[in-house]
Amino acid sequence: MNKTLALLVAMFLAMSGPAAPPAWAENGVAADDIILPGDSVSLEDFIWLKRALVVFADSPADPRYVQQMQYITERLDALADRDVVVLTDTSAREGSALRRELRPRGFMLTLIGKDGLVYLRKPAPWSVREISRTIDKMPLRQQEIRDRHGDG
**Sign for the pseudo-dihedral over CA of 28, 25, 23, 59:** negative
Examine residue 15 and state whether it is found in any structural domain, yes or no. Answer: no
Cα–Cα distance for residue pair 5/35, rounded to 1 Å: 28
Cα–Cα distance for residue pair 114/50, rounded to 1 Å: 5
Average pLDDT over residues 65-83: 97
Query: What is the reported pLDDT for 152?
Result: 55
Quote the crossing angle between the two packed helices 2-16 and 63-74, to the nearest 10°.
Answer: 40
Examine residue 92 and state whether it is found in any structural domain, yes or no. Answer: yes
Q: Which of 7-21, 44-58, 138-152 has the lowest mean pLDDT?
A: 7-21
Structural domain for 53, as ranges: 28-149
Q: Do residues 53 and 109 touch, judged by C-beta distance below 8 A?
A: yes
CATH number reported for the structural domain that contains residue 100 in this entry: 3.40.30.10
Examine residue 141 and state whether it is found in any structural domain, yes or no. Answer: yes
Cα–Cα distance for residue pair 30/43, rounded to 1 Å: 21
Question: 33-60 pLDDT, tens per residue?
Answer: 899 999 889 999 999 999 999 999 999 9
Examine residue 18 and state whether it is found in any structural domain, yes or no. Answer: no
The total domain count for the chain is: 1
